Amino acid sequence: MKSVILQSVLWILAIFFSYQIYDSINGPINFNKTKNIRYTKVINRMKEIRKAQIAHKDVNGIYANNFDSLVKFIDEGIFTLIEKRDSSYLEYDRTYRIDMLREVVVVDTLGFVPVKDSLFHGEESYKFFANVPVEGVEAKFEIKSDIIEKNGYRVPVFEVKIAKSVLLHDQNKDLLKQENETISVDGVNGSAIVLGSLSEIKTNGNWPTIFDAIQ
């Protein structure tokens, strides 16, 4: 009887330690797989937001400070299509008392096109810009804009971000802690995925270039 109990205990221990070894090997693999899938979805959404924010600044001179304003701009905004061409004309110069050639740049207005058609070609995914596009993650992006002083100029800036702990809320906490402390040229550094900056003039994100090639 005792030998049977001992064998049962040994089997349980063997199964337990086998699982521990399996989990120690496959846990990080599965974590990274889930992480990369979710990061890709978020970064692709952020790239769409960046496209819309740059258009907003081109038309209005500043970035949108909230998603409602950004979506409204896409719905109602208009791009003016222009063409620039070099030209010249003769003008009488009173100093030299002769006609002199003047060179100018002429700007012609060719027409107008809705922002929505130009950027999104009839698709309406932009209406959900605020929502994090990851199944099982009920969260929204943080968005802010500001105007900062740089070298004597007032420059518009914006930032969009989402915490890694939100995206990976259902993953191993120890692996998440390591991910939040990432400092690597091949990784998304810091505890959040961030597009833009409120202190620097930039519209790129804190992700490696490999994510820019993924759609």
Helix axis angle for 173-180 and 2-60, nearest 10°, is 40
pLDDT at res. 22: 44
Other C-beta atoms within 10 Å of 78: how many?
13
Tokens of 68: 């409602």
pLDDT tens for each residue of 159-193: 999 999 999 999 999 999 999 998 887 789 999 99
Model confidence at 96, pLDDT cuts 50, 70, 90, reads confident
pLDDT at res. 122: 78
pLDDT tens for each residue of 99-135: 777 887 766 665 668 888 888 887 888 999 999 999 9
Residue with the bigger pLDDT between 98 and 5: it is 98
pLDDT at res. 112: 67
CA 74 to chain centre: 17
Residue with the bigger pLDDT between 131 and 25: it is 131
pLDDT at res. 3: 64
- Average the pLDDT over each of 38-47, 132-141, 206-215 and give the range with the smallest value: 206-215
- Whether 179 and 165 have beta carbons less than 8 Å apart is answered as no
Residue with the bigger pLDDT between 121 and 25: it is 121
pLDDT at res. 167: 96
pLDDT tens for each residue of 136-162: 899 999 999 999 998 899 999 999 999
- Closest to 60 measured CA to CA, from 115, 122, 131: 115
- Closest to 67 measured CA to CA, from 157, 155, 7, 127: 127
Range 20-44 average pLDDT: 82
pLDDT at res. 81: 55
Is 79 a residue whose pLDDT tops 80? no
pLDDT at res. 16: 45
Indicate if the alpha-carbon torsion angle 12, 15, 17, 19 is positive or negative: negative
> Taking the model in full, what pTM does it have?
0.77
pLDDT at res. 19: 45
Work out the percent of the chain whose per-residue pLDDT is above 90.
55
Average pLDDT, the chain: 84
